[in-house]
Amino acid sequence: MFDIYNRKIDYIRISVTDRCNLRCIYCMPEKGVQSVDNKDILSYEEIIYLCENFAKIGISKIKITGGEPLVRDNLAYLIKKIKSIQGINNVTLTTNGILLEEQIDSLVKSGLDAVNVSIDSLDEITYKSITRIGDVNKVIRGIDKTLEYKNIVVKINCVPIEGINDKQILDITKLAKNKNLSVRFIELMPIGLGKKINGMSEEKIKKIIQENYGELIVYNKPMGNGPSNYYSLENFQGKIGFISAVNHKFCNSCNRVRITANGFLKTCLQYNEGQDLKSLIRSGKSDEEINEVIKKTIYNKPKENRFLEQNCCEKLEQNIMSQIGG
């Protein structure tokens, strides 16, 4: 379907849980996390029902997120059910990779198309300083096992942070040289705990890469469902991408909306506006009524984010990233 600004909206990110087995410094506090009660999280049946309705209005691509989606039991079942829905052509997963090694076999059998793995450093000490409790070696083993499946697209997501993992940018980049995967550097979002941390600019990261690995050559072919700008490097198997939603915002071509773990339809990451779909489902609203609400909410998707404006507007998102399924 198309929104009020004539953008084709065909991609939805669905958070299946707000829980996580890490405590990344820009995403969650170390202690005192207030999780959504299990009764308030969408059931798999409710998620499948919503996906069937999304497919009817033109959504064809689904990304499963969290929190950490692999901490929820039997995720492969959900993916299999979603992939079987007529009109859904692509089902992908974003994970921190801690549980990937033990679950990738069942995920592939379920029909999963691609995996994005978040890993901000390959250095054990730095990785633990960012995640507080994570073991980077488990993540690397999960990536390597996933790469054994040649039909699964693998991408690495890295959030560069000044003074913390900026020295590991070249190591992360090199993954795309030696492995059949692509690396994306994601600009730190000023949401929740991310407001208190200094990220790195795309320009600075590019400069570091080009000084060591040569010229980044623009790659114009499609590489997935999202907004990353990709580049090639000589003698690299994979591509290097940049997602810079703040300083290089791509709102004019945004094609996505989000569902939080508790069933709230978000049309833009920055704002708390949207629609509580869980309440509509559980109050017994008809398919037609729910579809009309979904269409109206998506149609009125905001024109753009305004992260660079101080106190730009009301109705800003106040939750931390794990609670909104970023």
> Quick check: helix, strand or coil at residue 160?
coil
Q: 158: annotated binding-site residue?
A: no
Place of tokens 């000084």: 211
Q: 132: annotated binding-site residue?
A: no
The amino acid at 132: R
**Residue 212 φ/ψ, nearest 5 degrees:** -115, -30
Q: Nearest CA to 130 among 32, 31, 23?
A: 23
- The separation between CA 256 and the C-alpha centre of its own chain, rounded to angstroms, equals 11
The amino acid at 277: L
Q: 251: annotated binding-site residue?
A: yes
Beta strands in 146-271 (DSSP E): 153-158, 182-186, 217-219, 229-232, 240-243, 256-259, 264-266
Q: 27: annotated binding-site residue?
A: yes
Q: 155: annotated binding-site residue?
A: yes
Q: 67: annotated binding-site residue?
A: yes
Sign of the Cα pseudo-torsion (213, 215, 221, 225, in order): positive
Q: 66: annotated binding-site residue?
A: no
- The separation between CA 133 and the C-alpha centre of its own chain, rounded to angstroms, equals 21
Q: 313: annotated binding-site residue?
A: no
> Quick check: helix, strand or coil at residue 242?
strand
- CA angle, residues 200, 204, 208, in degrees to nearest 5: 120
Q: 268: annotated binding-site residue?
A: yes
CA separation for the pair 60, 79 (Å, rounded):
14
CA separation for the pair 216, 232 (Å, rounded):
6
Q: What is the largest CA-CA distance in the chain?
A: 59
The amino acid at 106: S
Q: 282: annotated binding-site residue?
A: no
Q: Please report, for the chain, how many H helices and E strands are present, in that order.
A: 10, 12
Q: 58: annotated binding-site residue?
A: no
| Bridging pattern class, strands 11-15 and 229-232 | unpaired
Q: 257: annotated binding-site residue?
A: yes
Q: 312: annotated binding-site residue?
A: no
Between the CA of residue 271 and those of 22, 59, 263, 301, 315, what are the distances in Å? Answer: 25, 21, 16, 10, 6
Binding site, annotated residues for GTP: 13, 94, 155, 256-258
Residue list for the binding site for S-adenosyl-L-methionine: 26, 67, 118, 189
Residue list, annotated binding site for [4Fe-4S] cluster: 20, 24, 27, 251, 254, 268
Binding-site residue set: 13, 20, 24, 26-27, 67, 94, 118, 155, 189, 251, 254, 256-258, 268
